[in-house]
Amino acid sequence: MSGPAGCCRGSLPRLLAGALIAALALLHAPGAEARSYPNIFGSKEIASQNWGVKTSAIANWRAMLQRWANGAPCESNTCTSKGWDALVAKVKAAGDPMAQIKVANQLMNDPAQHPYIEDINNWGKTEYWATAFQFLRKSGDCEDFSIAKYMLLKAAGMPVENMRVVAVRIRSLGGIGHAILVVYQGDKALVLDNRVAPVMDEKLVRSEFQPALSVNENSWWVHLPGK
């Protein structure tokens, strides 16, 4: 599948197709719970902590976390932790949470350091979710940018319950699959997208994105059309 640079062309369509299967599974899944923060892009959310559901997104997220090993240092031709502490320090030094979010987004979106690279070219696979340290070594595609920002903000002190990696369709591009990071601050949901420099208020780009599935280390969610 082809598409604009910066959008996930190979992996996300399968992830999005699996969201319906996940939604059906959640009808009988234990552990679903309501969330107090705003629903992403006005969608209806179904939450779960049932990590045994068989979808590619959940499997790839869990496999990434296992490789990440809570940020254990690594150094190889596919992974490096060099420079990570300096990145974390830059985010912490930014000051308040909103400033930290902007700095993390800017650092990871730097095209000179992190060019967009499709999974098939980077890993020889159509779908591969890289850890933040793999991203530092080899860069990546849209979900890899989102994961790196998530882990960078987490290392700087952002609670994981305030963040989600979100699989979406981009309506203005014919529904092509993409991934972003959403970070909650108070009653606002903020969008961090590798395609654009600014951090965006979710309300301002609500018509652009159709969410399908989101995940953090505590839970995962299927997104259905809102009212």
Residue ranges with strand state E in 37-175: 44-48, 75-76, 79-80, 163-170
DSSP state of 124: S
For residue 79, the cross-strand partners are 76
Kindly report the average pLDDT of the chain as a whole number.
Answer: 89
User: If pLDDT is split at 50, 70 and 90, which confidence band does 35 have?
Assistant: low
User: If pLDDT is split at 50, 70 and 90, which confidence band does 10 have?
Assistant: low
Q: pLDDT per residue over 39-76, tens digit each?
A: 899 999 999 999 998 889 999 999 999 999 999 999 99
**Lowest-confidence region among 27-36, 76-85, 105-114, 179-188:** 27-36
pTM value > 0.85: yes
Residue 21 CA to residue 92 CA, distance in Å, equals 39
Question: What are the structural domains of the chain?
Answer: 12-224 (3.10.620.30)
Place of tokens 């031709």: 77
pLDDT over threshold 60, residue 201: yes
Greater confidence (101 vs 14) lies with 101
Q: Which two tokens stand for residue 17?
A: 């197709």
